[in-house]
Structure 1
Amino acid sequence: MSGEKDEKLLSCHPVWAWHPVRAEHEAGYTLFRKMVSVSSPAHFHLALSADNRYSFYLDGKLLGRGPLRGDLDHYFYEEYEGELSAGQHIFAVEVAVWNEAWRWSAAPWAEMHAGGGLMAAGYAGNERMELPDGWLVSIDSGRQPIPWDRAWKGKARIPAPPMDEIDFARYQADWHSVRQPAGDWIVPKVLGKAEFRNAYQTDPDTPWNLMKRTLKQMAETFSPIAEILTPMKSLSLRNGRLTGSCPAGKHTVLLDLGRNQTFMVRFAGSGGRGTCRLAYSETLFNEQGNKVHRYPGTLGEKGYADQLHFAGSIWQYTSFWYRTGRFIELGLELTEPLTDIGLELAFITYPLGPFREFHAPDDPVLEKIYETACHTLSCCSHEHFEDCPYYEQLQYAGDSRIEALVSYAVSGKDDLGRHALRTIAASQFSGGLTYSRYPSVFKQVIPEYSLIWALMLHDHYVCFGDGELVHELLPNVETMLDAFERKRRTDGLIGPLPGWHYTDWVSGWPSGCSDRGEDVPETILNLFYAEACARTAELETEKGDAQKAEKLRLRAKTTLYAVNALCYDPQRKRYLDAPGHPDWLSLHANTLAVLFGAVREPERGDFLRAICADPELKPMSLYFSFYLLAAVMKYGTAEELRAHYAPWKEMLKNGSTTFPEKPGWCRSECHAWSCAPAWFLLRTAGKVEISSNFSTNI
């Protein structure tokens, strides 16, 4: 990863600091502020990082969030720069520490940290901004993260960041904007000097290996609430904002946002004593407990929730991290009425747009598929690509390949794709493989995803021609491919390798594995390996290393030969999921045999049509359909490709506003691996440029 130390900005040896009383691993929110006076207009330039996360305010206005997700060896800081008017100014930083990420706790899996801390450096006018000089710190006793077993009654565990519990009797809403805030404010204690990536020479003083943020800040835009589903006379929507009052008593207010989305919550009002359970869900639930996309339905404790406790005063709540859902339910139990209520939402995503236009006047549903795919991608794009925003918020290589290609097509931008390539490279461990998802405190290996990461590098090069990125990451790819080659058997096949042999969620495949839980070489893995070797050989040629390129081409050829010799059943005229298992048949293996070159080129079109019509093959879910669509685009007809969009048309018909993890019942209603049609719609419309100098199967 790039991100070099800024010598001028960071010239005064910044340090990390923390509250002198609060334990560094204690879950909660800690507030830092510094008053700066300038006698005339002045410039400020500030570098910030925190453990776990921070929100930065200047005179009560939010300027940014961070740090960008990484790991301790790639720990990011952000820079902020602007102008100050003459007078006093308040620099304020709210730092969240979530519980350590044990599986059932309140901690998010994608956050990799060492405990509480804040690093600040830079200047405001003539005043230096390094901690601890001039800074004060206080514990926010009115805001706490909620363990998941209290946030909802859902059955699935949640690796996402936790919900909040707010006690407005103790919550300091204006701490970042008033000259004399409430609470006890004391001087922070120094933890140690800040260390920068590749800069320290002896034992580091602190565990955070700092580097400059490499992505833009997330973008927020006002998102109007569409409808109040359970009307109350004293509440109304005004320009998409919930306003009014609520009498004492027990009330349920159900809101429809119009579409599933990711958003920041801003909720304010006055008065009231009692509680509000502010719950979020991607769907409603009917009387049988099944998901429904349309009213009638309820939410209740099947949606995870923030918990607010009113104390009869003016109150204001802003979520620290984004929430996800189409529906919001306010479960109110009040002994005194609430007045001056204002609830508004801000859609939050990485700034990928504006998106390219796509028109299909002869089939308008395709336009809706495209728009929904773009929105699904947006909801899964924040500080990195995410599999899903409601549950995991983790960056998986298998998902990210599809997300990256779609982002290249719809926006022409490679910010998140480039970031994903480098982040996954940073996860590579001593055996040569990469972790399936990163950043993640829980280490998971899916061998297939390491190969997909190599294909991502080739994808990026054919779309953008960035030779520097290839030179940077190709050694990592070579090491990874060597790890697979060491698992070559005497019969020519690769594997099995250690790890989770996930391919797709398929009925009859335990844990999504085509090996059915047996210790056998998988046809699918071998085909991915052959493709990764073939595509990486092209990159080696571009780099000028003909010897390595030839070695990789030979590996690919040897692997395809073994697949055809051992995994193809000439009687069935189908590829088996593993050699010696004639009843193990899937559309997955046979599609990859077409796409990745095991099937002879003159026969690929007819073979593809035959397998698509074969009911004996295990079908694909939405994720793996990316590879089927790619094969049909290359070896089928335009009409055949359109026919394969049928599952997406059906999901729209059933009320989906984002594309889910899989059709029918599923955990996640917004899963970016399902946005693949956007890539193919633009490719077939001629709106995506790919270098003609390379073989490509996308």
Structure 2
Amino acid sequence: MNGNEILTHAVPIWFAGSTSMPDEYAEFDADFSAENTGKFEFYIAAGSEYSLYLDGRLIGFGQYQDYPGRLIYDTLTFDAEAGEHTLRVIAWHWGVDSFTHTKRPPYVIFGLRGTAGEQALVSSENTPSRRAPGYVPYKNHTITSQLGLGCEYSAADAADKENSAFTPSVRASVGTQDGSYVLLPRPIKRCDLLPDTAMTVVRRGYYRAASGAAFSDDPGLALDSAELDVERKDADGCYLVADTGAEETGFIKFLFSASRVCDVLVGWGEHLTPERETPRTAMGSRRFYYRYTAARGQNRRTEPMRRASCRYLEIFVADPDADIRYLGLVPERYPLTLSAAPVKDAARRAVYDCAVRTLELCMHEHYEDCPWREQSLYSLDSRTQMLCGYAAFADGNAKFVRASLDLISRSERPDGLLTLCAPAGIDRPIPCYSLSYIMQMKEYGDFSGDAAFLESKLNLLERIASVFLDRRASEHGGAVRRLPDRLGYWNFYEWAKTLDGRSIHKETADADLPAEAPLTAFLAMACRDLGAIFELCAAKNGEKADVFAKKAEYYRAAGSELAAAIRNVFFDADAGLFRSFTDRADAPFAVLTQALCLLAGAGEGTDTSRALEAVAVNGGEGLVPATLSSSVFRFDALAAADAEKYAPVILAELDRDGKYMLDRGATTFWETIKGAADFGGAGSLCHGWSALAALWYTRLEAHVGC
């Protein structure tokens, strides 16, 4: 029997007495007896997150997130000797929306296949379950709105309730109106755990807690405000700050002994504050901490329920007599095979390796924009990561690409756009990100030739395109009007002046909204790419070849018309540059707008030398420079204009920016060139869109050598 066959006989369950409130934990007894030594397979899907322990050893974790009604199950294979074995499922119910999860009721479903392929057990109302000892429920500690909840664990509670009674489970809802669901195997590999990170002690000593209710009620502030290096006699406890040696993603792990039951706080971050030499754990509403209650004696803990990303960790133990021996991460990585590096120069190789490492840390269940602050799947961010991965990883990591593209496709909104992230329960849609999905689908087709997958998404892609084609405005020469701010659309392009999507048209009627060059350019490129997708599908599907060929012709023509509209409406012949908006004559020219318009084909028959120069130098008098996130468009525009001429320009910029970050201690590449200082101190130091060296060193090797 396979996983689907076994799980068909299982039912979703939860523990009796549940409140179904957010942040709840359950334990399920799946103990079994093995008649013979052999190999077993365990299949499991949880509504939010789970961890699986065989005879007390962690063997499973990391629920693949999807939408309600789609139960994605893991297959966990293990060997067991003849005899009795404890097999325990710990399930965590989030019950809140985030950028990475759509809330649903609490449930878990599982089944065990025996050594002969038989059904050994399945989850049912007879499965023993209880509230999970140790985990502290209903705290609802939000790390960030993107990540969602953090967990809390009490070793003292676990010891007290170790022998608490199990009772029969109850059948659970999976969050669909009619109770239906489909069982689907995980579409990608499971992540691996690597050896523990090294620990270099940055500082250690005794601390005194800051006074006041605000600090006691806010552990993040308490960590950032504790008085450090006080005398032992004045101390509330001891602390240690650890450097793992490099940016890393994984599970928090620590080892210490305590003389009493006491509170423990662990914080993490990507950099140290200069004034305290500690990671900053409280930033606005963000709170990067893990709370733990120690038992008397040795405390060893690896927390598999929440992945953290950082370089630095701190632990504060409210016991001056505690002996802290280790603090770090158990790295969690997606299994990858690297392609041969295309570079020989040592300095360039360092940049390339850092770019590839950045990509690696931004991939787990799906692509992630940044592993520290969000761990969220955006279409525009993931497009860059996919392009880089085609070059950096053996077989281009195509299965992972396809899984993320499929997940994004399931985020369609009633208005025809895609949600900002997938599978998100919190949304603020960025219009151009839906168009970038068409682009990344075409690029996946170019790389893989997977016409069957593309064909399965054609209706969705056409619906997306039609939303924007319907917004072409004759009064603006056929250019595309921005989407209404008052309806919650975020007309964002990048974190740069005039392009950051500020809601300046909340009171403007839809018919009076201005047209925007970047949006029109995105649509022109998306239509051209949609035409190419139909061409590929026509070549692979003879029965529909004629229909698909006509569609391809239609979208290619639409792309050409949009390019002409950009040229006629936005090109300023006196300046030799493209304006960004029809309504803001005083808005500065923007480098990203130049790159997008050139890529859209709007420069045909026009002197675009000034626009190309602005893209090449990323600026010029009065121009708004593009950020790192937009380098993918700048470099594409330059290469499309003259790859031989601009290859040295692209390489020089990658070399310069890479060296700048490496010289400042980077082990992964930053969200923006400002590093941690950007966004009020919340700038990410590991961001997938900044890994372009992995792509362009490979592409340009043939032109100039690397």
Task: State the TM-score, normalized to the length of structure 2.
Answer: 0.83
Distance 2:608 2:133 in 1: 65
- 1:540 aligns to 2:526 (yes or no): no
Q: How much does 1:351 deviate? A: 1.8
Q: How much does 1:366 deviate? A: 2.3
Distance 2:125 2:281 in 1: 48
Which of residues 182, 185, 193 in structure 2 aligns to 1:212? 185
CA-based RMSD? 3.0
Q: How much does 1:422 deviate? A: 0.9
Which of residues 2, 6, 9 in structure 2 aligns to 1:9? 6
Asked whether the 8 Å contact 1:145–1:162 carries over to 2, the reply is no
- 2:363 maps to 381
- 1:423 aligns to 2:389 (yes or no): no
- 1:675 aligns to 2:672 (yes or no): no
Distance 1:465 1:654 in 2: 41
Distance 1:461 1:17 in 2: 40
Which of residues 253, 275, 282 in structure 1 aligns to 2:263? 275
Distance 2:312 2:268 in 1: 6
Q: How much does 1:64 deviate? A: 2.1
Distance 1:492 1:418 in 2: 34
- 1:159 maps to 146
1:311-350: CA deviation from partner (whole Å, max 9, x where unpaired)? 31343322122111111112222054347x4445321122
Distance 1:211 1:447 in 2: 30
- 2:36 maps to 40
Asked whether the 8 Å contact 2:576–2:610 carries over to 1, the reply is no
Q: How much does 1:61 deviate? A: 2.7
Distance 2:367 2:94 in 1: 22
Asked whether the 8 Å contact 2:592–2:630 carries over to 1, the reply is yes
- 2:209 maps to none
- 1:643 aligns to 2:652 (yes or no): yes
Question: Structure 1: which amino acid aligns with 2:120?
Answer: R
- 1:475 maps to 459
Distance 1:558 1:150 in 2: 47
Asked whether the 8 Å contact 1:514–1:577 carries over to 2, the reply is no
Asked whether the 8 Å contact 2:576–2:608 carries over to 1, the reply is no
Q: How much does 1:165 deviate? A: 2.6
Bigger drift between 484-493 and 348-357 goes to 348-357
Question: Structure 1: which amino acid aligns with 2:189?
Answer: K
Distance 1:488 1:654 in 2: 47
Q: How much does 1:383 deviate? A: 0.7
Question: Structure 2: which amino acid aligns with 1:183?
Answer: S
Distance 1:8 1:31 in 2: 24
- 1:347 maps to 331
Distance 1:653 1:146 in 2: 44
- 2:163 maps to 182
- 1:555 aligns to 2:543 (yes or no): no
- 1:75 maps to 71
SS at match of 2:293: strand
Asked whether the 8 Å contact 1:112–1:441 carries over to 2, the reply is yes
1:574-607: CA deviation from partner (whole Å, max 9, x where unpaired)? 1100135443311111112222211127956674
Distance 1:5 1:38 in 2: 19
Alignment of 1:262-411 (within 5 A): 262-273=249-260, 274-287=262-275, 296=277, 299=280, 304-319=288-303, 320-334=305-319, 336-338=321-323, 341-361=325-345, 364-411=346-393
Pair 1:299–1:540, CA change in 2 (3 A) = closer
Q: How much does 1:533 deviate? A: 0.7
For structure 2, the residue ranges without an aligned partner over 5 or more in a row are 207-231, 539-547
- 2:211 maps to none
Q: How much does 1:630 deviate? A: 1.7
SS at match of 2:247: strand
Q: How much does 1:524 deviate? A: 0.6
Question: Structure 2: which amino acid aligns with 1:642?
Answer: L
Distance 2:330 2:3 in 1: 33
SS at match of 2:53: strand
Q: How much does 1:272 deviate? A: 2.7
- 1:452 maps to 436
SS at match of 2:164: coil
- 1:243 maps to none
Question: Structure 2: which amino acid aligns with 1:628?
Answer: R
Pair 1:75–1:625, CA change in 2 (3 A) = same
Which of residues 508, 518, 526 in structure 2 aligns to 1:524? 518
- 2:121 maps to 129
- 2:483 maps to 497
Question: Structure 2: which amino acid aligns with 1:672?
Answer: G
Question: Structure 2: which amino acid aligns with 1:131?
Answer: S
- 1:625 maps to 631
Pair 1:512–1:256, CA change in 2 (3 A) = farther
**What is the identity percentage for the equivalent residue pairs of Structure 1 and Structure 2?**
21
Bigger drift between 49-58 and 261-270 goes to 261-270
SS at match of 1:96: strand
- 1:85 aligns to 2:58 (yes or no): no
Which of residues 108, 120, 134 in structure 2 aligns to 1:118? 108
Pair 1:160–1:606, CA change in 2 (3 A) = same
Q: How much does 1:41 deviate? A: 2.9
Asked whether the 8 Å contact 1:120–1:130 carries over to 2, the reply is yes
Of Structure 1 and Structure 2, the greater helix share is in 2
Q: How much does 1:627 deviate? A: 0.7
SS at match of 1:458: helix
SS at match of 1:551: helix
Question: Structure 2: which amino acid aligns with 1:115?
Answer: P
Pair 1:662–1:517, CA change in 2 (3 A) = farther
SS at match of 1:450: helix
Distance 2:501 2:671 in 1: 15
Distance 2:282 2:308 in 1: 16
Question: Structure 2: which amino acid aligns with 1:253?
Answer: L
- The alignment of Structure 1 onto Structure 2 pairs a total of residues equal to 635
Asked whether the 8 Å contact 1:74–1:209 carries over to 2, the reply is yes
Asked whether the 8 Å contact 1:53–1:96 carries over to 2, the reply is yes
Alignment of 1:425-444 (within 5 A): 425-444=409-428
Asked whether the 8 Å contact 1:5–1:211 carries over to 2, the reply is no
SS at match of 1:229: strand
Q: How much does 1:301 deviate? A: 5.2
Asked whether the 8 Å contact 1:56–1:93 carries over to 2, the reply is yes
- 1:260 aligns to 2:247 (yes or no): yes
1:543-572: CA deviation from partner (whole Å, max 9, x where unpaired)? 222211111111111111111111111111
Alignment of 1:534-613 (within 5 A): 534-544=528-538, 545-579=548-582, 581-584=584-587, 585-600=589-604, 607-613=611-617
Asked whether the 8 Å contact 1:376–1:671 carries over to 2, the reply is yes
Question: Structure 2: which amino acid aligns with 1:311?
Answer: A
Question: Structure 1: which amino acid aligns with 2:553?
Answer: E
Which of residues 154, 157, 163 in structure 2 aligns to 1:170? 157
Distance 2:702 2:57 in 1: 44
For structure 1, the residue ranges without an aligned partner over 5 or more in a row are 102-107, 152-156, 176-180, 198-202, 234-246, 290-295, 688-698
- 1:227 maps to 200
SS at match of 1:334: coil
Pair 1:579–1:127, CA change in 2 (3 A) = closer
